[in-house]
Structure 1
């Protein structure tokens, strides 16, 4: 039950398994599309292709299926569809293993904005992980018709970006058949460029064969599914703005992105905004600006409520106290112990005369600091053999000077000190490691 004791204890490594060494991934079961695809001018000039396209849309087929049908019926037309940026998201039954989910999403969050058609313009999401890299994976990738040819991947140092590819199939000793693989195809660095991903020197990137590709992974409140949903995007601006939102929310929520934003179960929302973005004209080399519908995250919540946050240490301490009480032990909180120690060092105020009925109030300086809390903290630190000055230097280094002026900050410092009541030598060693010798 003790958060800190669990965090400090060595974790028992899980036994290795045959399939347990792969990179963890969040399973998905269904796609929401960021836009639509329309016929190219060449394809639209053929009335038969237009009719096939309209019929497929009426059946709510996916754009991949529509493209395949056109290619099969008109083999001379290559790439008959092109993406079109619109204000809404596309939700089609064939994009989900359970086609009914598409109707559930539109019924719950679809809107008719005056054109007689219910579309998805804005919907709530809950992310399943605290790492934005896990809920918005992205890469530079080059695809052939059937598979991914090359893709970017960062090295363990976090700085070097490699260009990876699938390794060629190995043949058996007789050279008659490929070696049977286990655990998926192996990968290797691309030999042509030394395995380094440099888009400006990459022919595939310059010819628009290799592009930035990413996806948001999330759950939708009210839509029952064990697996998450995904929303693909190739927009650099959409992903960059999302990273800014993720980092801001994580900072305000103590590193958390997963789950609802507050106790009122407020979710994030995904929507689109029409914004002007700049790009380089490939013919002139000049910067030009165009309006595009950009995917954006919205957080309809009071920011100050996110900054306040729940006192997790206090909740865990109460849980510990409840367990000890049920076991028949005497319960004393960290604050009670610290305040009792402080009572021996803080001078007592003279007793007020009986006729004086003014309510006693804790002494609070102009900056809002409760000196009673500070004295209790210093007293507990002194019982470990740490002077007030040295503890203040350590606390300011770890939590910043603002811990004094915040009641939750002072409570967390008390809880941190309580961890070392039975082993003060460990606390002394930690201070030495953080700020050096006295």
Structure 2
């Protein structure tokens, strides 16, 4: 699923050409449009209608600031809120957006910085690129021809729009150097950053379009570096102090090849992704709030001893006073209060572990077709009739459930235990909160077995 976007911040502006600047009427329309915060497309249309001799009166200009214009947001006040929070006046009397904090809504950089090589017709995409699942190969895609009914010769109505197929040329692989559209400048790089801005209220994200290869390549390198140090994560705050990424601009000399094949260097304001964080804090996973909570619970167990029994509650039958005061209600045929937040315990006859997508099921090691009695979920992990389970049996059941979930994603039990002990402390298995946090950690990668194994490898094999 794509991340919904509700507004756009732009990296540049458009200005009048030299020819258009010499026309007073065109200059007047441009100045009035900028003052009213009209889009540059609208300003250009008004100039062309007023001065038909000017076919293209506006050209892009690279500037050191970003623009947040009311016309680029469904709620115009959002643009004002962004400028009020993070706008700066750097001596010219105009408040502009030079640098602002961002929070990315996903951990995969391909989701928060989607990009493609794309060829457009007057109304739609003709060809475009897509990466393979592992991000190593880029394919060229196109729309499949609309099928026609053989009898009536009518176009068949399609469910969900036209299908996407690989382009026949080059075996479907995107190779810009042998692509006639790319060489004739019909196919160009198109990308964007997708993010939230702290302090700006919006259910949907914002985006920042860019077609700079250098800016995107530098951002990918920083995404991968931060993800490597944070166990595969780039989303959310970077640390417990609320540190975020920042987006700004930096004047950089970039090289390019001119029409005659000669290398030249030009200065450009490129989008720069910053991460002003203490790197050493990212390399200390034991200092995270979850790990501190686990160690606190471990201390409670040491001082007070483990719980002998686990109180249970049946929510529909609990009295109003008990429910309000938080007192557990002992009942038979009830479920344990300690429940995993990210997945339900398996019912009888169902496999243990997180629900896997078909893609993850292929990536995970195949399970045995027949299970022994010892491999079946114990009674403490199932719902149904019976008395409340013993505390030790429930803890053993939850631990087995966690280890089976990790095994379903291709991580052996002993390797996951090594990872969990390093991340949350040696007593994570004894604490209900520790087991709950472990299952939550696993469930976050239920559809990404490869990512889960990479995360475990980073923590166990790299950060020793």
TM-score (norm 1): 0.66
The residue number in structure 1 matching 2:280 is 304
Query: Which digits, 9 at most, give the CA deviation of each residue in 1:363-415, with x for residues without a partner?
Result: xxxxxxxxxxxxxxxxxxxxxxxxxxxxxxx99x969xxx99xx973865675
The residue number in structure 2 matching 1:112 is 89
Of residues 29-38 and 152-161 in structure 1, the stretch that sits farther from structure 2 once superposed is: 152-161
User: What's the secondary structure of 1:101's corresponding residue?
Assistant: helix
> Is the Cα contact below 8 Å between 2:70 and 2:78 reproduced in 1?
yes
Query: Which digits, 9 at most, give the CA deviation of each residue in 1:103-157, with x for residues without a partner?
Result: 0000110011111111000001011111111110111111223222211113446
* Offset, 1:75: 5.2
Distance in 2 of aligned mates of 1:73 and 1:301:
52
Aligned pair 1:409/2:422, yes or no? Answer: yes
Aligned pair 1:70/2:47, yes or no? Answer: yes
> Is the Cα contact below 8 Å between 1:125 and 1:219 reproduced in 2?
yes
Aligned pair 1:255/2:268, yes or no? Answer: no
Of residues 256-265 and 155-164 in structure 1, the stretch that sits farther from structure 2 once superposed is: 155-164
Which of 144, 155, 160 does residue 183 from structure 1 map onto? Answer: 160
The residue number in structure 1 matching 2:293 is 315
Which of 270, 287, 295 does residue 294 from structure 1 map onto? Answer: 270
* Offset, 1:188: 2.4
With over 3 angstroms needed to count, the CA separation of the structure-2 counterparts of 1:413 and 1:324, relative to structure 1, is closer
The residue number in structure 1 matching 2:2 is 25
With over 3 angstroms needed to count, the CA separation of the structure-2 counterparts of 1:326 and 1:101, relative to structure 1, is farther
The residue number in structure 2 matching 1:39 is 16
Aligned pair 1:327/2:310, yes or no? Answer: yes
* Offset, 1:77: 3.8
> Is the Cα contact below 8 Å between 2:11 and 2:66 reproduced in 1?
yes
- Give the number of the structure whose alpha-carbon radius of gyration is greater: 1
> Is the Cα contact below 8 Å between 2:421 and 2:428 reproduced in 1?
no
With over 3 angstroms needed to count, the CA separation of the structure-2 counterparts of 1:270 and 1:185, relative to structure 1, is same
Q: Provide the alpha-carbon RMSD of the alignment.
A: 3.5
Query: Which digits, 9 at most, give the CA deviation of each residue in 1:77-108, with x for residues without a partner?
Result: 44432211100001100100111100000011
Of residues 308-317 and 116-125 in structure 1, the stretch that sits farther from structure 2 once superposed is: 308-317
With over 3 angstroms needed to count, the CA separation of the structure-2 counterparts of 1:108 and 1:40, relative to structure 1, is same
Distance in 2 of aligned mates of 1:190 and 1:36:
35
TM-score (norm 2): 0.63
Q: How many residues align?
A: 327
Could you tell me which runs of 5 or more consecutive residues in structure 1 were left unpaired when the two chains were aligned: 1-23, 330-393, 421-433
With over 3 angstroms needed to count, the CA separation of the structure-2 counterparts of 1:272 and 1:189, relative to structure 1, is same
The residue number in structure 2 matching 1:224 is 201
The residue number in structure 2 matching 1:383 is none
Aligned pair 1:131/2:144, yes or no? Answer: no
The residue number in structure 2 matching 1:48 is 25
User: What's the secondary structure of 1:273's corresponding residue?
Assistant: strand
Aligned pair 1:153/2:166, yes or no? Answer: no
Distance in 2 of aligned mates of 1:219 and 1:325:
46
Distance in 2 of aligned mates of 1:30 and 1:81:
23
With over 3 angstroms needed to count, the CA separation of the structure-2 counterparts of 1:197 and 1:99, relative to structure 1, is same
Distance in 1 of aligned mates of 2:43 and 2:152:
41
> Is the Cα contact below 8 Å between 1:313 and 1:415 reproduced in 2?
no
